Amino acid sequence: MDPSIIILFAVLAGLMLFMSSRTRKQQKQQAEFRSSLVPGQEVMTGSGMVGTVVEVDEARDIVTIESTPGMQTRWLRAAIARKIDPPVEADEAEVADDTADAGSITSAHGAVEVPDDLSGLDTAQREYREKQRRDEGDTEGK
């Protein structure tokens, strides 16, 4: 038998083992996550529904999720895809700084005028290029 065929089969077998071990590892992590579900956690199902865990029935592997106040649905534990992390609260000082800059557009050369509609975009670009040429001292007007 040709040695290159043996090497090819060995490489393919190694790839298959590597891929299956990664899959088993991911499945183990998902199973650990699902077994650690407790009421109060915000989760997302595999279909994309987001809600808060209200109750976990260990005996039947059913999780009750409340998507909106008073609206509870029951899901198989395997349908829960991931935990939703709460949004990070920004400091009030950072929010105040961000809102002060809202609406102003500046560049290295100062304020930039933005046309109200697309019809003036070509004219604005042409005027901007001409101004840049004048500032750089180009008098030919290429």
Q: What is the pTM of this model?
A: 0.49
Q: Which of 20-24, 29-33, 78-82, 99-103 has the lowest mean pLDDT?
A: 99-103
The pLDDT value recorded for residue 97 is 57
Residue-wise pLDDT for 61-114, tens only, equals: 899 999 989 999 999 988 898 888 877 776 655 655 555 555 555 556 666 666
Q: Which of 56-60, 88-92, 97-101, 133-137 has the lowest mean pLDDT?
A: 97-101
Q: Does domain 37-87 have CATH number 2.30.30.140?
A: yes
User: What is the arithmetic mean of pLDDT over 21-37?
Assistant: 87
3-state secondary structure the chain: CCHHHHHHHHHHHHHHHHHHHHHHHHHHHHHHHHHCCCCCCEEEECCCCEEEEEEEECCCCEEEEEEECCEEEEEEHHHEEEECCCCCCCCHHHHHHHHHCCCCCEECCEECCCCCCHHHHHHHHHHHHHHHHHHHCCCCCC
Sequence spans of domains, the chain: 1-36, 37-87, 92-136
